[in-house]
Structure 1
């Protein structure tokens, strides 16, 4: 959708997805490193998280496709107008295609989690492909546009193709927390930058940006770096909070377990003493 809401919708999806990946990968890393030799089996909560992630991705993709097609000024499932001999709202169709591949990624994740017949890494491959398709579409999305419009969309490609590359590496380098958090960071960067594009091209205060001014291009480039810094900070803070929370609760559970063992051992000793006294 060529308006602020059309950019806020994918922005919200990518922001939520980035934070979700940060929490999920931090929990899994804690699980893997909680024993000296690491854990080979996948915990039950991990599969549940994959099901939730896959379901959310499928649902969000479906909502995105419906929103792009059936808004008031949308194409309403019409690709070509034979009467006027013109394509109908190709921008909406491109956005819908982007959502389609993320939906495929969600279905792949659910399938790979459910079935052991699916080779490991296929879910990451599907996500990397979805990101590549997104970047590929946006690369040809900004031709013949004003300089600032084209530039602000081209900066988005840095996050998109970077995320695709890091996710593709996860296919071959499994359970690498650095790669996993990098991917989460780039999703958050994508989400915040979608909002930034919306604010620049469709300002809510009504004050339009000069799309031809070079200073605006310089500022937007600098602003992208700020978004990256904030995304890194958010990932670091979120993963730290999750890590310390898990450590704190796991420490409490260990104390409770030790206390229960001590109590049971004392009870056993008391029973043994009573039995000996009865025999005497």
Structure 2
């Protein structure tokens, strides 16, 4: 959605996950220090499964919001009258949500009885964040200069986060990388809200900001 709500929704998701990852990272770090065998408590595995389920839920909400808003594509990708693509921006946002949803599915499979190899969850998350950045890179073509500039600044946090998460595939439970991921996710969330700021005037909500 090319409006304030369309930016505030993913921004809220990123802020929530960023702060949660920061808290979880600190708790896991001190849990490892207190446990001589360096084994995490089983409750952390349950939290990972819950986190994955929440991620899938948020992604589903995002996709439904993008598709079924009054001016959304309503699952139509192409129309014959006239011959044209339908709301490509909404489809781009839906694609972003889809891959974050797949990341949530991978989280659940990694920490559930299926026990997929550790690292696949981080790999899928890194891919999801990279695809987010890839879509945003081509998202601003033929857009106003201000819109291009504020979205381009966001790419720094997105691609930085993708690289950081990819490193976590090989450097598991590294507190520095985890905190770096949390920080960049919080930056993304706050920046999404700020990117949506110009739309407040369009909506006539400037007095509320």
Instruction: Tell me the TM-score normalised to structure 2 length.
Output: 0.94
Deviations 1:172-230 (A, max 9, x none): 0111101000000111000000000111244378489xxxxxxxxxxxxxxxxxxxxxx
Counterpart Cα distance in 2 of 1:72 and 1:204: 18
2:201 aligned counterpart, secondary structure: coil
* 2:46–2:111 Cα contact (<8 Å) kept: no
Alpha-carbon distance change, 150 to 66 in structure 1, aligned in 2, over 3 angstroms:
same
Residue 177 of structure 2 is aligned to residue 179 of structure 1: yes
Deviations 1:31-77 (A, max 9, x none): 11114xx4332312101210121011000000000000000010000
Instruction: Tell me the TM-score normalised to structure 1 length.
Output: 0.71
List alignment gaps of at least 5 residues for structure 1: 209-280
1:203 aligned counterpart, secondary structure: helix
List alignment gaps of at least 5 residues for structure 2: none
Matched residues, number: 206
Residue 5 of structure 2 is aligned to residue 5 of structure 1: yes
Counterpart Cα distance in 2 of 1:23 and 1:89: 38
Q: Once superposed, which parts of structure 1, at least 4 consecutive aligned residues long, lie more than 4 Å away?
A: none
Counterpart Cα distance in 2 of 1:109 and 1:39: 24
Deviations 1:116-140 (A, max 9, x none): 6411111000100000000000000
2:2 aligned counterpart, secondary structure: coil
2:163 aligned counterpart, secondary structure: helix
Residue 83 of structure 1: how far off its partner (Å): 1.4
Counterpart residue number, 1:29: 29
Counterpart residue number, 1:111: 109
Counterpart residue number, 1:62: 60
Alpha-carbon distance change, 55 to 117 in structure 1, aligned in 2, over 3 angstroms:
closer
Give runs of aligned pairs for residues 159-170 of structure 1, distance below 5 A.
159-170=157-168
